[in-house]
Structure formats: C-alpha cells, structure tokens
Amino acid sequence: MPVAKPESSDSRVIAHVDMDCFYVQVEQRKQPQLRGLPTAVVQYNEWKGGALIAVSYEARKFGVKRSMRGEEAKEVCPQVQLVQVPVARGKADLSGYRNAGSEVVSILARRGRCERASIDEVYLDLTDAAEMMLADNPPQGMETIDEEALKSHILGLNNEDGSDVKENVRKWIHRHNADHRDKLLACGILIVAELRMQVLKETEFTCSAGIAHNKMLAKLASGMNKPAQQTVVPFSSVKGLLDTLPIRKMKQLGGKLGISLQMDMGVNTVGDLLQFPEEKLQERYGINTGTWLWNIARGISGEEVEGRLLPKSHGSGKTFPGPRALKTVPAVQHWLNQLCEELSERLCSDLDQNKRIAHTLTLHARAYKSSYTDSQKKFPSKSCPLRYGTAKIQEDAFNLFQAGLREYIGFYGGKTQGSHCSGWGITSLSVSASKIVPIPSGTCSIAKYFQGQSTSHFSSMQSSDNLNTEATLSLPSGSECYSEVNLSEPKIDFPKEESWIKDTVPDLDLQEQKDLSSTLSEKTQDGFIQEDISPLLLSGCLEQNRSKQQQDLTKDESQFKSEYKERKGKRLKDKGTYSIIELFKSYNPNPSGSFLSHEYNRTVGGTDASSSSYSRDEEEGRREAWGYNIDEIDSSVMEELPTEIQDEIKSWMQPHKRRPNNMVQRSCTISHYFSPSKKS
C-alpha cells in the first residue's frame, strides 16, 4: 500500500530529549570520582543487594543489566560501584533526581514549547524556532557547522561508500534543493545540538535526542544512538524505519494490544500493518484504535507537544514483595502515613514554587488473597477530593484504603475483622494527587468577610513577617465532600459552607443554613481582596503563631455566630414566606384590602432578609391598599404562589386587559392568603 500523503503536521519540528542513564549521572555529579567507572544505582532494598534502577554505559560493557540485583551485578562485574538511592521515611527519596531533571527542562524550554514527559525525558516543539532560523539565517548559507551537529545520525543518508560521515551530514544540511520539511529538520539539527551542549555546560549531564516531524517518530529516534548523540528522521526515511520495527517496540503496543496484533493478525513489525485496510482494523479494534493503527503504520501522528514544564500529578508509592507484604490494617496505615507525608511535602512545595493546587487524591494498591486461586483480582482504586494538610491527607487515604479493602474482600465473600488479617496481603501501595491547576486569579481572603469585626486582628495576621491570610480555594464543581481547600491552622475551617454552618449554629434549619452559605459564597466570588495568594494559606504549609491566632479567631467566630443567631431568631416566626415578603412590604389586613391601587408612582420595598414580620408603612396619608411599581416586580417570584393567586397578580400587572371573566373569587385574594389566620 502506498505511503499516505504528508499532512500539514509533517512540517513540524519535534525533538525528544532523553537523559543518558540519568540517575547514575546525578550520583556522579555528587561524587565526581565515580566518573568513568562502572556504576549502578540500586533501589532501597537490602534483599540481594537491592534492585538496579540505572546502569552506566561502562557497567553495561561488562554485562550488567537493569534487571539484575546488586549481588548479581557484583558477580558479573566485581568492580561495579553500587550507589544506593537516598532514603526517607523508609522508602526511596527521588526528590534529588526530580530537581536535577527540572534543571534540564529549564534550559531546553528556552527555544520552544516544552513538555516534561518524566523525570528524565522531554518533548520540544521547535517549529517556530526553526522557521525563524530558516528566514533569518538558513543553514544552507552557513560557512561553518557546529561539530556536535555534524555528529548527527540522519536516517537514509548513505554512508556505506567509505566517505566521511561528517562531510555527508554537512552536505545534507547545506542542500539548496531540499524541500521545506528537510530544511526545517536541518534547522532542528543545529538547534538541538546547541541545546544539548548548553545542558552539558550548565548541568554536567549528557543527553541524547531524536528529531522528526512528530512525537512518535522523535521518541523512536532518540533511543537509536546513545549516549550523547542525536538521530534525525526525514520524512523520506519513515517507511524504512517502520518496516522493520518490531510491533512491541512501538509506544502503546507493548501490552495486550501488541500481543493481539501478533497472535490474531500475524503482525510482527509496524510495516506489517500496511497490508490491512483501515476498515479492517476498525472492525477488529474499534473505530478510534483502528484509525490510530492505520496512521502509525504510515508514521502519521497528530499528537501535539503540550506546553507543560511541570508534572501533571504527584505520587508516592512503595512495594512490599513476597514476605514483606502488609497483612494487617495497622501496618498498612503506618505506610500510608509515610507516603502521605511525602505527598503533602511535594504538594506544598508545588504550591509555594508554582502557585498550583491539586484537587483529587487517589489510592492505588496491589493485593492478593492467599486462600483463593483467583488471587490476582485487582484491588480497586479509590479517589476523593483532596484536602491540604498532612493529617487530612493521611485520614482520607486511610478511609480510601478501608473502602477499597471492603470491596476487595467482598469479591471473595470474606470480611475484615478489626486489624486482623483475613488471608489478604498488600504488595504495593501508592497515593497520588492529580487535577493540578494554577490557583484561580482573584481568589480572595475570607478575612475580608469579617470587616468591622476585629479588623485589627486580621490586619496583624497579614503582616509581612507572619503572613497567614486565610483563603477559600474552590474545588471543581461536582466535588462531593469539600468545596474548598482546607485552611491552615489556626483557621475557621470550611470543609463545606453548609457543614460549617450546621456545626457552628446547630439550631438553624436547612433553608437558613443555605441562605448563609450562599451569602458567604457571594462574598467570596465578588472578590473583596484582589491579590495573589501566598502558598502559606493552606494547612500544613505554615506552623507558626498558632496559639494567639487561634484565640483571636475563636473570638471572631463566636461574635459572628452570635450576630447571625440573633438575626435568624427574628425569621423563625414566619419562616416559609421569605420570598413572597420580598415582593410585598406591607398589606391591609382589612378584608376589603382586596382592592388594589394602580398608582404606579408608589412602590413596595422588600423586607429585610433577616426579618419576617410585616411592618406597616409609617408614611403619612398612607392608603389602605398596596402600591407597586410593575418594573420592580420579579415575575419569577410568582411561581411560588398558588395558581389562583398568580392569576390575580397577573391581572394587576396588566390592568388594561382585565375582563370580568378574569376576576378570581374573592375568597382567594392575595390578602386572604396572607390573613392573620394563615400565619404560622
């Protein structure tokens, strides 16, 4: 089947930068004496010397592999230097590697849109930079080409005739008759070579890169020539690359889908997919997957490079293999507390440095049931809205585990009994925070809501030395448990406005709780204070001035509570008539009051929301009738009234259309509806 015609995406310049045995390089930077020696980094686990997570190229020459353990590596290469990953809270601490990766990202992002894919790999969209270079200083006119760029591996470039490889690369870059796509790739070669040299200069780390027209091809190319090299995939070489590429080497085809293609379709290389029409693949694997398979066989991928320098989520996990499996609830809780403590630190650091908040907490686990043959049943993952603060995250994570354990045990008809094991074991635990977004602009301080109530106290709280402003950071709509990120202690804690009102003013009815809740919400949304939020606003991120501020806040909370209870006491007498009272300020209790005035220059003002009593107008010469202004009447209020009352009010609002047959019965007039006998 002929190769598909290039799409507009073929004019992009995408690079995938992959750090060379990154963990080893980080350790060698800390211990320069390790440079040039066979070195491996081992995970925290004393069993057989620990598992290798990174192996230097010097050690690989002796046959050391990542699948080995420390003792095995020593047998293969006695001189190998084993460096253990730093340990914190009884588990590996990868923060040093993350920070080192951030150094690299900050350099690469100088030339184009950057997507951090993991600790040690980054995607770059260099299209704009390449177009600019092509317009201002095209490679075809350059007299000298950087030596590092001349080391590039260009797929399809014939170097088998014994000619100088670097000279062939120079000629390829200098071609005047090249099409626009290849000219852009030539610019990409120079840009990536320059960036790699800058990374080496500033961080002492080497990296390899793949340069192509999309992310898929760039990812494949970056691993073809390592370390400290770069590989280029021109469009004309795409078919040759994919024809012989094992199907399981393609991203997302290493699992069940790849196995199915091999077993069911006889596909062993990506090129084998070319024999199947798109309809056939769609019929077998669904429309979306079928189309995707048809495209990748032709090197087509429209996946964009996301402009993301920061991780999409934070996580902390640990495995407990074999006899180390956790078999009691207290043991699980202990390790959950350790994992949550690390997660909380990373969340606070992200908040402090990047002004971002996470919204969702998720627990993952792997488990087995020793007394059943089907012991591979998956432990259900559980999620909930994330509350900031180490203690809160620990509490929520443990609740999620208990819910998952009940469901998992339920698969087998068993029960959990306190802290005792019922034949189950946990072999892996992890907690993660996701849905991380920047703090919404305009988010303001709850302290402003209490203006006039110990404002001097709140002012002192906001001093430059001890900034501890309270803030309400709303979670996404649909959150069931918490509508706000919990505030730092000392605090007025609003896990949700309604629940707070219920706790602090327990004798309010539900409607009144909602009234106050909406008031608080409106105050917050209006944005009393337009200023940036300090990361110290969230609980767990500041641990100072607790005693004094707690006392002051308790005082302010009590004062607010007292005033609100005083207001609501005036409303309890006639609750249920609140909305209609806003329409009618007063009325004439005389039965003859059904006669209504149509003098439009008189208006009915709404009563105070905190009071439900009917006050008579004290204006001199007041008529025994209601006055109203049609323009000020909210028609939506009428929907709360009985049908006959609605008809009467409509007739008042349209007096010129009133006909005798539109008259309602006198016994159903609005004044009768509000007669003293109807009050409760």
User: Which residues participate in catalysis according to the annotation?
Assistant: 121
Amino acid identity, position 133? M
Q: How crowded is the C-beta side of 638, counted as CA atoms within 13 Å? A: 15
CA distance 102 to 117: 12
CA distance 436 to 249: 31
Element (H, E) at 437: strand 437-438
Spatial CA neighbour of 536 closest among 484, 490, 474, 495: 490
- Cβ atoms of 672 and 594 within 8 Å: the answer is yes
* DSSP β-bridge partners for residue 420: 417
Cα 654 to Cα 647, 648, 649, 658, 661, distances in angstroms: 11, 10, 9, 7, 14
CA distance 287 to 388: 42
What are the structure tokens assigned to 223, written together? 């691993």
Cα 91 to Cα 43, 95, 342, 484, distances in angstroms: 9, 12, 10, 32
Q: How many CB atoms lie within 10 A of CB 33?
A: 8
CA distance 287 to 309: 33
CA distance 280 to 1: 14
> Is 632 strand, coil or helix?
helix
- Cβ atoms of 313 and 40 within 8 Å: the answer is no
What are the structure tokens assigned to 24, written together? 């080893």
CA distance 197 to 188: 14
3-state DSSP: the chain helix, strand, coil percent, rounded to 5? 45, 15, 40
As a residue count, the chain comes to 680
* DSSP β-bridge partners for residue 433: 314, 361
Query: Which DSSP string corresponds to 538-566?
Result: BTTS--SSHHHHHHHHHHHHHHHHHHHHH
What are the structure tokens assigned to 123, written together? 């995607």
- Cβ atoms of 470 and 447 within 8 Å: the answer is yes
CA distance 146 to 123: 23
* DSSP β-bridge partners for residue 232: 154, 211
> Is 295 strand, coil or helix?
helix
Residue in this structure with the two tokens 């149509």, named with its chain if needed: 598
Residue in this structure with the two tokens 């009010």, named with its chain if needed: 649
Torsion of CA 441, 446, 448, 454, to 10 degrees: -160
- Torsions phi, psi for 552 (to 5 deg): -65, -40
Query: Left if phi > 0, otherwise alpha if psi is -120 to 50, otherwise beta: which for 455?
Result: alpha
Alpha helices in 449-603 (DSSP H): 455-461, 497-504, 510-526, 546-569, 578-581
What are the structure tokens assigned to 529, written together? 């204070």
* DSSP β-bridge partners for residue 230: 209
